[in-house]
A and B are shown apart, each in its own frame.
Chain A
Amino acid sequence: MKKLSVLNIYISVTIFVVGWWFFAFKPAPAQPMIEKFSNASLNSSQELMDLAFLHIDRNQLQDALAGNCSLMARLIVEWDIDAQILQSSGLENINRISESDLMRSQYLDRQLKHAPLEKLKIAQEQSRGPFIIDDVGRCISLDRTFHSFLPQTYASASFLLALLSTDEIAALPRSMRDQAQLYPKKLTDQVPLDIDRQNAEKLFQKKPGIAFVAHYSHPATIQALINQGILIYTMKNLMSFSDITNELMQIGRIVNRPFQAELLKIFMEASLLAIDNRRYALTKENVSPQISKQTLLFLNHCQNFDMPTSKTLTGQLLQRMQVVDLSSTCLQEHEKKHEWTVPIDKERILNLNPDTLIIASQNRKALEKEVFNDPAFQQLSAVHNKRIYFVDEATQHSPTQYIVLAYYDLAEAIVHTP
Chain B
Amino acid sequence: MISIQNSQKNRSFIRLNFILITALLLCSVLTLVIGDTPWHLIWEDIVNRLHGSGAPWNPLLNERLPRLIVIICTGASLAVAGAVMQALFQNPLASPNVLGISCGGGLLVVLVFVLEWHLTYPFAIPIAAFAGCLLTLLGVYSLSRSKEGVQLHTLILTGVAVSSLLFAIQAAIMFALRDRWMLIQTLTEWEAGSTIDRDWKHVHMQLPLALVGLYGCWFYHSEIDILALGEEEAKNLGVEVEKVRWRLFLCVALLTGGAIASIGMIAFFSLVLPHLIRYVQGPSNHHLIPLCIIVGSTSLTALDLLLRFLEIHALSIGNISAILGGLFFLILMRNSHILHGGSARWIKN
Q: Which residue of B lies closest to A1 (CB)?
A: B219
> B208 near A16 (CB under 8 angstroms)?
yes
Q: Is A100 in the interface zone, CB < 8 Å from B?
A: no
Interface string of B194-216 (1 = CB under 8 A from A): 10110011001101110010000
* Cβ-defined contact, B62 with A375, below 8 A: yes
Q: Does A174 contact B (CB under 8 A)?
A: yes
Contact between A345 and B189, CB atoms less than 8 A apart: no
In the complex, chain B residues whose CB is within 8 Å of the CB of A25: 121-123, 201, 204
Cβ distance B252 to chain A, nearest Cβ, rounded Å: 14
Q: Which residues of A contact B35 (CB under 8 A)?
A: 347
- Cα distance, A17 to B119, chains bound together (Å): 20
- Whole-angstrom CA separation of A13 from B211 in the bound complex: 10
Q: How far is the CA of A20 from the CA of B205 in the complex (A)?
A: 9
Q: Kindly list chain B residues whose C-beta atoms are within 8 Å of the C-beta of A20.
A: 204, 207-208
Give the chain A neighbours of B313 by CB distance below 8 A: 335, 339, 342-343
A393 within 8 A of B: yes
* Cross-chain contact B179 with A174 (CB below 8 angstroms): yes
Chain B residues with CB under 8 Å of A16's CB are: 208, 212
Residues 303-361 (chain A) with a chain B CB within 8 angstroms: 303-305, 332, 335, 339, 342-343, 345-348, 350-351
Using an 8 Å CB-CB cutoff, how does the interface string of A142-181 with B read, 1 for contact, 0 for none? 0000000000000000000000000000000111001000
Residues of chain B contacted by A6 (CB below 8 angstroms):
243
Confirm or deny: A217 has a beta carbon within 8 angstroms of a beta carbon on chain B: no
Query: Chain B contacts of A379 at CB under 8 A?
Result: 55-57
Inter-chain contact B204/A17, CB cutoff 8 Å? no
Question: CB-CB < 8 A to A339: which residues of B?
Answer: 313
Contact B37 A346 (CB under 8 A): no
Contact of B182 with A362 in the complex, beta carbons under 8 Å: yes
Q: Is the CB of B189 within 8 A of A302?
A: yes
* Residue total for B at the interface (Cβ-Cβ under 8 A): 38
Partner pick for A347 among B59, B180, B190, B208, CB 8 A cutoff: B59
Query: Complex: how many Å from CA A348 to CA B197?
Result: 11
Closest to B308 in A: A345
- The residue from A1, A17, A174, A346 contacting B209, defined by CB atoms under 8 A apart: A17
Q: Which residues of A contact B59 (CB under 8 A)?
A: 346-347, 350
**A200 at interface (Cβ–Cβ under 8 A)?**
no
Give chain A residues whose Cβ lies under 8 Å from the Cβ of B57. Answer: 346, 350, 374-379
Q: Is B63 within 8 A of A346, CB to CB? A: yes
Contact, CB under 8 Å: A351 / B201: no
Contact A345 B196 (CB under 8 A): yes
Taken residue by residue from 241 to 255, chain A's Cβ proximity to chain B (1 for < 8 Å, 0 otherwise) reads as: 000000000000000
Can you name 6 A-B residue pairings with CB atoms under 8 Å?
A: A1-B219, A178-B179, A335-B313, A345-B63, A351-B37, A366-B119
7 additional contacts (CB under 8 A) given A304-B194, A347-B37, A366-B119 = A24-B200, A25-B122, A345-B197, A346-B57, A363-B182, A376-B57, A379-B55
Binding site for B on A (CB under 8 A): 1, 6, 13, 16-17, 20-21, 24-25, 173-175, 178, 302-305, 332, 335, 339, 342-343, 345-348, 350-351, 362-363, 366, 374-379, 393
Q: Which 3 A-B pairs have the closest CB atoms?
A: A175-B179, A24-B204, A375-B56
